[in-house]
Amino acid sequence: MAVSALKRWAGKAPASVFVAIGEGMRERVERLFADPRIERAATPRHAAIFLIAGPMRLEDREDLRRLHDQMPHPRATLLWAAEVGEALGDAEKLNFTLQPADTSRADEAALDRLTRIWAELSDGERPSEPDLLHDEPPNPWQGIGPHGQGGKGMMGGTPYGRPMAMTADDLRDGLALDPYTARFGPFLPMFPPGLLLEMTLQGDVIQSAKVLRPPLPQAARDDASAALLRLARLLDLLGLPVLGHRARLAAAGDRPSSTLETLGRAIRWSGSTLAIRPGLGAVEGQGDLRTRFDDLLAVTGGSSAETRPELPESAHLSSLLPGLEWSEAMLVLNSFDDETLSALAVVKEDEDKDGHDHEGSGYMHHEHHGHGGHQGDGGHDHHAGHGGGA
């Protein structure tokens, strides 16, 4: 009785959807989530439906499989105009032809399908999808070593399959504490879709950053709406989601100038410019984050998006991000237009001096075997050895 009432209430709630955005789909997905029938989950742990929107790169498939398995049960996947081969098992597919005229009809079809999947999931009619990856820790550890920690010595173990961190100097003051190295992205909601960064952090300060995969190209309808969407993302990150939502609505609609003026005034009065440290994220020829924010704000006043001079050769995310706190870095990442960002996020081949490649080989291996995270092979064995041997 009580359980069936809970099921009924759950079915009426908006469907919680985690979305992985592919090529050219960012703007459409952002407009799709303006609908109250679905809500965008910040992480797969809060989602019931995994929406994969748009074409994906071959090397992103392994990450999609990992994200799929991080969702709690019951869960379902919807491939929206996405081609991922057999990587996601036999997930439900919804395709459309990319005709600009019938985008709203295609969006409506996607919304219908998402709400139907959610109703079926909450009713219990639809079976939950099983894990795609094997239930194995990245490194064997159980029952190994004198204390069962997976190795010998203080730092030698791999508890729960991962080595303990060794100490390294902090950029700020040389204090030697534990660095955290991980690959962030390619489907982190505050990242541009497709961008994969290998970053080392101490606390929340970025010590080093390396681009492993560039962001996926996105198609915007026109410059003004792209600028408004960019402004909306920055406002979300600054903790002003209501203003962000208004900017997003303005980007989607036909924008009467009075609405834009009111929006511009609301943003100016919020004092959000003052929350951005002067000189943050400064790039030669592009100004700092504050000037870029002001430029975007000027779009609400009716002026067209300003064209900035060419980027200097040396400008790159690997030199721009280190030293910034996580929140500042996310603002910086979202302040550039798509073209500038892809110029800043060029993959540099020569950086990885020890010849280890976290990408490529690991992924190809799995394409053949059709299983497993790339935790267990390639790059990660190297790191396990690093932890154990020191």
Partner 1 sequence: MDLVTKIIVICAVSALAIFALWRTGAKDATAPQQLPYLGGGTPDTHAWQRYHVRYYSMTLLFIAFEMEMMFMYPWAVVFVEEGGKAMMEMGMFLAILSIGIVYAWREGVFRWQ
In the structure encoding, which two tokens stand for residue 265, read together?
A: 């005034």
CB of 331 to partner 1, least distance (A): 17
The rounded distance, in Å, linking the Cα atoms of 301 and 275 is 21
Q: Does residue 55 touch partner 1 according to CB under 8 A?
A: no
* Window 242-301: residues binding partner 1 (CB under 8 A): none
Q: Does residue 363 touch partner 1 according to CB under 8 A?
A: no
The residue from 32, 196, 296, 317 that contacts partner 1 (CB under 8 A) is 196
CB of 112 to partner 1, least distance (A): 27
Dmax (CA) of the chain: 72
Interface pattern 64-93 for partner 1 (x via CB under 8 A):
x-xx-xx-x---------------------
Q: Does residue 181 touch partner 1 according to CB under 8 A?
A: yes
The rounded distance, in Å, linking the Cα atoms of 185 and 189 is 9
Q: Does residue 214 touch partner 1 according to CB under 8 A?
A: no
* Window 93-152: residues binding partner 1 (CB under 8 A): 131-138
Cβ partners under 8 Å of residue 242, min gap 6: none
Strands 15-21 and 38-40: parallel
CB of 328 to partner 1, least distance (A): 13
Q: What are phi and psi of 109, to 5 degrees?
A: -60, -40
CB of 193 to partner 1, least distance (A): 10
CB of 192 to partner 1, least distance (A): 11
Amino acid, single-letter form, for residue 181: T
The residue from 23, 30, 63, 328 that contacts partner 1 (CB under 8 A) is 63
Q: What are phi and psi of 310, to 5 degrees?
A: -60, 150
The residue from 126, 191, 223, 381 that contacts partner 1 (CB under 8 A) is 191
Is the CA virtual torsion 279, 283, 285, 291 positive or negative?
negative
Q: Does residue 9 touch partner 1 according to CB under 8 A?
A: no
Q: What are phi and psi of 207, to 5 degrees?
A: -95, -35
- The site that binds partner 1 (CB under 8 A) totals a number of residues, namely 55
The rounded distance, in Å, linking the Cα atoms of 312 and 262 is 36
Count of alpha carbons within 13 angstroms of residue 332, beta-carbon side:
27
Q: What is the CA radius of gyration of the chain?
A: 23
Q: Does residue 27 touch partner 1 according to CB under 8 A?
A: no
Q: Does residue 387 touch partner 1 according to CB under 8 A?
A: yes
CB of 132 to partner 1, least distance (A): 8
Is the CA virtual torsion 134, 135, 139, 145 positive or negative?
negative
Q: Does residue 54 touch partner 1 according to CB under 8 A?
A: no
The rounded distance, in Å, linking the Cα atoms of 67 and 56 is 14
CB of 18 to partner 1, least distance (A): 10
CA angle in degrees (0–180, nearest 5) for 247-55-127: 95
Q: Does residue 154 touch partner 1 according to CB under 8 A?
A: no
CB of 375 to partner 1, least distance (A): 5
Q: Does residue 182 touch partner 1 according to CB under 8 A?
A: yes
The residue from 187, 293, 336, 363 that contacts partner 1 (CB under 8 A) is 187
The residue from 297, 321, 374, 388 that contacts partner 1 (CB under 8 A) is 374
Q: Does residue 26 touch partner 1 according to CB under 8 A?
A: no
The rounded distance, in Å, linking the Cα atoms of 5 and 1 is 6
User: 164 vs 298, which CB is nearer to partner 1?
Assistant: 164
The residue from 12, 37, 45, 348 that contacts partner 1 (CB under 8 A) is 45
The alpha carbon of 84 is separated from its chain's Cα centroid by a whole number of angstroms, namely 18
Residue with tokens 């995969």: 213
User: 126 vs 183, which CB is nearer to partner 1?
Assistant: 183
The residue from 230, 248, 290, 380 that contacts partner 1 (CB under 8 A) is 380
In the structure encoding, which two tokens stand for residue 342, read together?
A: 């892809």
Is the CA virtual torsion 169, 357, 354, 346 positive or negative?
negative
Positions touching partner 1 (CB under 8 A) are 20, 43-45, 60, 62-64, 66-67, 69-70, 72, 131-138, 158-165, 170, 172-173, 175, 177-178, 180-189, 191, 196, 202-203, 373-375, 380, 383, 387
